[in-house]
Structure 1
Amino acid sequence: IEHIRNDYFEDPCFGLEGMRRLRDRISIPTATNTVVVNFEQLASCIKHDAVDVILLDTTFWGGLRQAYKAGQVLETFQFGASVHSSGELGIQLASMLHLGAALPNMSFAADAHYHHLLDDIIVGGKMKYVDGEIAVPKGPGLGVEVDREALAKYAAYYKEVGGYTYDRDPGRKDWYSIQPEMRYADPARH
């Protein structure tokens, strides 16, 4: 897969030892957002040189402040950092954008699934991509404001149909992906 020229190889195997062994054998930088999600795991990762890049996630790390602190530790030990997407709405995307802007060692492209959304619960609707980027929101706090009507609309929708399982197609009940599937997020199908 080296010919694909990805920024990094995300979570190709399980556990720090597996990641370290693979890292020693390939030229693509390895990255994780599942094996290292707290400071104890981060210390072990750094001590054993297990991966090249930690994908910081404001959800998994317990918020913006904790993810930023982890980024500071990574900078101290000269590890790569980037921002991971866990399927966010605009509020979390705003936190991710602020995190990425504040990390001096953000040396890889940030991950986002935001472009799959049809709508958002922030005032003004979805944030816009310009030349493949979304600007860091300006203003108080995270720079976005909750659209109370949109929130009520989607809260009612959630009560009606239930939650959305991240790895499943809401249009095909009981279907599970067994190979890469590109059509699941196609807005034209829903």
Structure 2
Amino acid sequence: MKIVQIEATCISLPLNTDLNISGGKYNRADRVYVKITTDQGIYGWGEAAPIPQYAEETMESVKFIIDKYLAPLLIGQDPMNLAQIHEQMKVIKGNNFAKAAIDFACYDISGKALGVPVYTLLGGKYRDKVAIGQSIGIKSIDHAVEEAHKYAEEGFQSIKIKIGIDPDHDVKTVGAIRERLPDIPIRVDANQGYRLEQAIHALSRMEEYNLLLIEQPVPKWDLDGMAELCRLLRTPILADESLYTIHDAVQLIKHKAADIFNIKIMKPGGLYPSLKIAGMAEAAGIPLSIGSMIEAGVGTAAGAHFAAAVKYLEYPSDIKGPTLYSDDVLQEPVRIEKGFTYVPDGPGLGVEVDQEKINHYKVDL
């Protein structure tokens, strides 16, 4: 089987809430959907979910890299040979979100060709559904409390509170939500927003409210700061922005700079390299949470398959992107209800894209 065509389409999907984090605020999500077609008529879908405030890729750069470089490079390749596909893509440095879209589509094709779900190609599954939390952006305390209560009523397994701009406001917000919701697990996520001194002061106060975990409190490059917080605080420290590649995983382990790994399958370039990071975490005794770049339907399905296949998934994950959208591009949505994302069981990724919706939300560059 050979790849004969790779099509990248830019789309812009509306969010149902303003998402305000320490890195910026936005109310739409730009995505690139990739369709790979083979000489046997089997096709697969991938998704790139760049967030410019967070990563060094944009919708425009992803499409350019795929159209100009990756597509010509991969035409004629066997999409089931993921090892060789990723070796070929190393000719282009970085651009991991573009590579992830290719990776997802190749896994989708492989599963369809063999008549098995992608989680089977990843080694099988440990679970049929994945516990998920819901995120609250930085906003007024009253609005944050009401939103947290709504999410708890909907059955989400944890509440993630975005912090990192105003430490005093952050502490008050966490305290108010804990007072309203005394039993729900609360995690906080600074998205690199604090300096080390701010983090020590603010997070030690927040620990009074029984936090589940603390996500990326300081800049991604500050591994010494991450290690210091791991040492000083009783709440586990989760590495997110500090963890992109297998090389980042090595450095986090060597520096003892993370108690938990947050693997976002978009960041290292797809499912194939993400499995390597999961193996390294398992060997180092580091538990996992599976993160999200707020992917729409295809990326969420890929994340669900990955979460099903990794062993030490001990914390609620963020594979819930579609819950933040006003619309999606799948014929049938990924099942997300009562605090769980259910792993699709159909061949490949187990989802099918609605081409009319792709056309409706298409962005012409």
Fold match by TM threshold 0.5: yes
- How many residues align structurally? 157
* Greater fraction of residues in strand: 2
| Cα drift, residue 107 of structure 1 | 0.9
Distance 2:224 2:352 in 1: 43
Residue number among 34, 37, 60 corresponding to 2:244 in the alignment: 37
Q: Which runs of 5+ in 2 are unaligned?
A: 1-205
Would the aligned equivalents of 2:236 and 2:259 in 1 still touch at CA under 8 Å?
yes
Evaluate the alpha carbon distance shift between residue 127 and residue 3 of structure 1 in structure 2; reply closer, same or farther with a 3 A threshold.
farther
Identity %: 27
What residue is the counterpart of 2:360 in the other structure?
153
Cα 1:4–1:136 change in 2 (3 A) is farther
The alpha carbon displacement at 1:40 in A equals 1.3
| 1:170-189 per-position Cα deviation (integer Å, ceiling 9, x unaligned) | xxxxxxxxxxxxxxxxxxxx
1:119 aligned residue (309, 327, 335): 327
Query: Cα gap change, 1:13/1:65 in structure 2, threshold over 3 Å: closer, same or farther?
Result: same
- Which of these residues, 256, 263, 267, is aligned with residue 49 of structure 1? 256
CA distance in 1: counterparts of 2:294 and 2:322, whole angstroms: 7
Residues 37, 107 of structure 1: CA spacing in aligned structure 2 closer, same or farther, 3 A cutoff?
A: same
Q: CA deviation at 1:139?
A: 0.8
- 1:103 corresponds, among 307, 310, 314, to 310
Choose which of 220, 227, 230 in structure 2 pairs with 1:20.
Answer: 227
* Higher RCO, Cα 8 Å, sep 6+: 2
Q: Which digits, 9 at most, give the CA deviation of each residue in 1:52-88, with x for residues without a partner? A: 1111011111101111221111001111111111111
**Matches of 1:6 and 1:99 in 2, distance apart?**
26
Counterpart Cα distance in 2 of 1:117 and 1:68: 28
Q: Which has the larger radius of gyration?
A: 2
1:15-37 alpha-carbon deviations (Å, 9 max, x no partner):
21111111111111101211121
| Contact in 2 for aligned 1:57/1:84 (Cα 8 Å) | yes
**Taking structure 1 as the reference length, what is the TM-score of the superposition?**
0.78
- Runs of 5+ consecutive residues of structure 1 not aligned to the other structure: 163-190
Q: Hey, what does 1:88 align to over in structure 2?
A: 295
Let me know the Cα RMSD of the aligned residues: 1.5
Stretches (4+) displaced over 3 A: 3-6
1:11 corresponding residue in structure 2:
216
TM-score by length of structure 2 reads 0.41
Report what 1:71 is aligned to.
278
Residues 98-146 of structure 1 show CA distances to partners (whole Å, capped at 9, x for unaligned) of 111111011111013431111111112x333222112101111111111
Cα separation, 1, equivalents of 2:352 and 2:242: 33
